Amino acid sequence: MTPTQCQKCATPLPASDFASGLCERCRNSLMSGGALEELAGGSDQQLKTQPSFAVALPQEATRTFYQPEPRTRAVPTEQLEDNTPLPDLLRQLPPSPPGYQLLKRLGCGGMGDVFLAREYPTERLVALKMLRSFGNPNVAERFVAEVRALARLNHPNIVRVLATDFLRQQPFFTMEYIEGGTLADRLRQQGPIDPHEAARLIRTAAQAVHAAHCAQVLHRDLKPSNILLDAHGQPHISDFGLAKLLDRDDGLVTATGPLGTPSYMPPEQCSKRFGPVGPAADVYGLGATLYHMVVGRPPFSGSSTPEIIRHIEQTPPIRPRVIRPEIPLELEAIILKCLQKRPHDRYPTAAALAEDLERFLAATPPSAPLHTPWRRFYLWMWSQRGRLLTLVATLGLVGLGTALGTFLSPLRQPEESAHNILDKIYQRLGQDQPVTLVPTEGLPTWYKIVHGHATLSSDLTSERSCVYSSLGHGLILLLPEVPVDHYTIRAEIRQMNLLTPRREGLQTGGLFLDYFRDDQSLPGCVIHSARHISFLDHHYAPNNPQAYPFPEHVSFGSLCLVERPGASPVFSLENNTYTHPFTPSIVCPGPWRGIEITVQPDAITVSWGEDPSRIIRFAELGQLALHYSAFKATRPLRLSFPQLQYQPPLWNPHRGLGLWCHRAAYAIRNLTITPHTSP
């Protein structure tokens, strides 16, 4: 019994769908999930708003001319174009039209199904295309447009129309049957094709497409599944369902989205911003098909149609030789010229493409430019010209800023090449060569601020010598360790200014050595200890000696500083045992003073000079005196921290040396360390 309801959703069926047993919506959903509906011209909602089209049929065509055959034929080997099996309901063949016997289903398109049929009384095999959704006016219009396009064409490599019948309830037309299958079937079964054979096939197809263009017909859906191969391996162009007649307006209403197969569509079929669709669109389709033939996959792919279209519009295709290096460079150039984004960058006609393929087959250079490394570099530069201009402008600004910074500030970052600088210093000292840690002008060769907010600078006010200062306690390391144990330190130093009034507390500064950092003895705190030589070269009230009764002096002793998190540091200074008086300066900056310290493993000798040319020794300490000085410096710490079991480190001539100051600014130059042979 003929079904009157859809076998999937139980919707009442019109008489035209009795044969398939499915309504139009379920049939489209089963076949391609909506893709066929897009190819046919849009969704149901779009079709409701489009002008109707009706084929003029005689009155008797509205009734059935034949009864359905009592039996149907199942063809289990049938597949859709995407290589998925047909649903069971679509394996069955519809009733055969009068004069034909349907043998099997060859394929399913957006407008109808194509069957292999035997024609009576000629007994020849034909391809019969039957309109499936003839109740849809847009589909019917395109069905008629395909017949009109094919009727114009007379070329041995274009499938010919044999007969038409639009007076039946289910219109159809027949075409010559090409028995070799489609190019897509061959690619699916055998994989990529030899480049020269692929070039011969596309050359013949391009000549056929050019003949169609001369007849004012655009195909607009060239792809491997629409190229048939005969028994001799010759290509034949088929499926003109999306063809456009250039010399007339058929009144067809296009869908809101792009028409065609996404992976093979040119950019102008995806977006109008690339220009109108013309013969160059079919050149792109031939190039995309040739790409698939030699590479084994389409030039663009993705998980969804919008993603593929985005790649088509924005991304250049991967060069074929990247995937298959054996592809000739000349053929790659022809393919990439066909796949250019802008239509005027492609071959102007399909005949020009066929001529270039003929040159390739004849082993002569094609007109398409070869994609050599230099050309690829040029194309990459051109595609990235916006970003490159931005990068060049940015680098120019950075370079200009660096040049201005170098010109305006002679300061050098101390961290720059720090390890290399220290290695050179240690190497020279190990060879008993003198090393200058602070030159006559400029900053130290290497330095690191180990405590406080000390700053270093160099300007004209200090004769371009190094100036260091700090509002609090500042410790600046000039050498982390000394690789020798017999050496002499010499320097010229002077006081530049007081950063706070003298009555507000201690202001002093100078050099330090035997630096030791301890972060284990007092949990959460850091203890800095060192030996120092310090002086204050500023007379508080030269006309009133009673205002500051203590004489000016240079002193040598020990210092100890404890860093506490969230609190002010605790500072202790032992500097009253070894001192030497001198005449202070009444102006700032003061004069240059001289300092000399001779270091041995078991003793230190300290000298001072009001004039750097006249040095006077004023302190000489052995190991016991050095240890006692450090013990005195830590006495205030034990009073502040009764729980502190801190023992000052023993004297070690290899520990680091540097600069220190408190609430004052000092300038230093010509600080050298000279190793000497032990006695």
3-state secondary structure 116-180: EEEECCCCCEEEEEEECCCCCHHHHHHHHHHHHHHHHCCCCCECCEEEEECCCCCCEEEEECCCC
- The lowest-confidence range among 185-199, 254-268, 438-452, 664-678 is 254-268
Give the count of domains, the chain.
3
Q: Are 614 and 470 members of one domain? A: yes
- Would you state the pLDDT for residue 22? 66
Distances (CA, A) of 212 to 125, 197, 344: 25, 23, 20
Q: Are residues 489 and 596 in the same domain?
A: yes
Q: Is the pLDDT of residue 8 over 70?
A: no
**203 and 164, same structural domain?**
no
Question: pLDDT > 90: what percent of the chain?
Answer: 37
The verdict on residue 234 lying in a domain is: yes
Residues 48 and 138 in one domain: yes
pLDDT grade, residue 346 (50/70/90)?
very high
Beta bridge partner(s), residue 512: 532, 658
- Higher pLDDT: 93 or 78? It is 93
Both 190 and 169 in a single domain?
Answer: no
Q: Are 236 and 178 in contact (CB under 8 A)?
A: yes
Q: How confident is the model at residue 250 (pLDDT cuts 50, 70, 90)?
A: low
More confident residue, 613 or 617: 617
DSSP 3-state assignment of 334?
A: helix
pLDDT value at 255 more than 60: no
Rounded mean pLDDT, 359-372: 88
Q: Are residues 207 and 142 in the same domain?
A: no
Answer with the one of 385, 402, 421 that is the final residue of a domain: 385
- Which structure tokens are listed for 492? 């010229």
Q: What are the structure tokens assigned to 648, written together?
A: 């000052």
Within a domain: 618: yes
Contact (Cβ atoms closer than 8 angstroms) between residue 655 and residue 514: yes
Grade residue 351 by pLDDT with cuts at 50, 70 and 90: very high
Cα-only R_g, the chain: 47
Q: Is the peptide bond before 545 cis (omega within 30 degrees of 0)?
A: no
Residue 566 falls within a domain, yes or no? yes
Average pLDDT estimate for 78-83? 47
Under the banding of pLDDT at 50, 70 and 90, the label for residue 256 is: very low
- Across the range 382-388, mean pLDDT stands at 73
217: its two tokens? 């017909």
Structure confidence at residue 406 (pLDDT): 67
SS3 320: helix
Region 433-450 average pLDDT: 94
Complete DSSP assignment for 601-667: TTEEEEEEEEETTEEEEEEEEEHHHHHHHHHHHTHHHHHH-TT----PPPP-TTEEEEEEEEEEEEE
Task: Give the residue, 537 or 196, on which the prediction is more confident.
Answer: 196
Instruction: Give the domain CATH number at 155.
Output: 3.30.200.20
424 falls within a domain:
no
Give the chain's mean pLDDT: 80
Whether residues 379 and 523 fall in one domain: no
pLDDT at 37: 36
Single out the residue of 131, 132, 3 nearest to residue 12, CA to CA.
Answer: 3
- The answer as to whether 409 is a domain residue is no
State mean pLDDT over 615-633. 88
- List the domain range (segments joined by +) for residue 237: 183-385
Q: Verify that 130 and 239 share a domain, yes or no.
A: no
pLDDT tens sequence across 148-195:
888 888 899 999 988 888 877 778 889 999 888 899 999 999 999 999
In Å, the largest CA–CA distance within the chain is: 141
At a CB cut-off of 8 Å and minimum separation 6, what does 201 contact? 183, 193, 227, 233, 235, 293
pTM of the model: 0.47
Same domain, 378 and 241: yes
236 shares a domain with 369: yes
Provide mean pLDDT across the span 440-461.
90
Whichever domain contains 380, its CATH number is 1.10.510.10
pLDDT score, position 47:
31
pLDDT for 482 equals: 94
Q: Is 396 exposed, middle or buried (0-12, 13-18, 19+ CB in 10 A)?
A: exposed
Give yes or no: residues 223 and 122 share one domain.
Answer: no
Which amino acid, one-letter code, is at 72? T
Residue 452 pLDDT greater than 60, yes or no: yes
- Which CATH number covers residue 495? 2.60.120.560
623/36: higher pLDDT? 623
Q: Which amino acid is at 184?
A: A
The answer to the question of residue 282 being in a domain is yes
CA 408, 411, 417, 420 dihedral sign is: positive
Asked whether the predicted pLDDT for residue 73 surpasses 50, the reply is no
415 is a domain residue? no
Q: Distance of CA 541 to CAs 289, 494, 548, Å?
A: 99, 19, 7
Out of 71-80, 224-233, 630-639, which region has the weakest mean confidence (pLDDT)?
Answer: 71-80
Strand partners, 593: 493
Instruction: State residue 32's pLDDT score.
Output: 38
657 vs 570: which has the higher pLDDT: 657
Of 385, 405, 438, which one is at a domain's C-terminal end? 385
Domain boundary among the residues 332, 356, 385 is at: 385
Dihedral sign, Cα of residue 28, residue 30, residue 35, residue 39: negative
Q: Is 42 inside a domain boundary?
A: yes
Region 100-113 average pLDDT: 82
Q: Are residues 497 and 633 in the same domain?
A: yes
Of 183, 365, 367, the closest CA to residue 285 belongs to 183
pLDDT higher than 70, residue 50: no
CB atoms within 10 A of CB 200: 19
User: 412 pLDDT exceeds 60?
Assistant: no
* pLDDT at residue 222 tops 70: yes
Question: Can you read off the two tokens belonging to residue 108?
Answer: 């399913």
DSSP letter at 319 equals P
- Identify the band that residue 635 occupies on the pLDDT scale cut at 50, 70 and 90: confident
What crossing angle do the helices spanning 279-295 and 183-190 adopt, rounded to 10°? 20
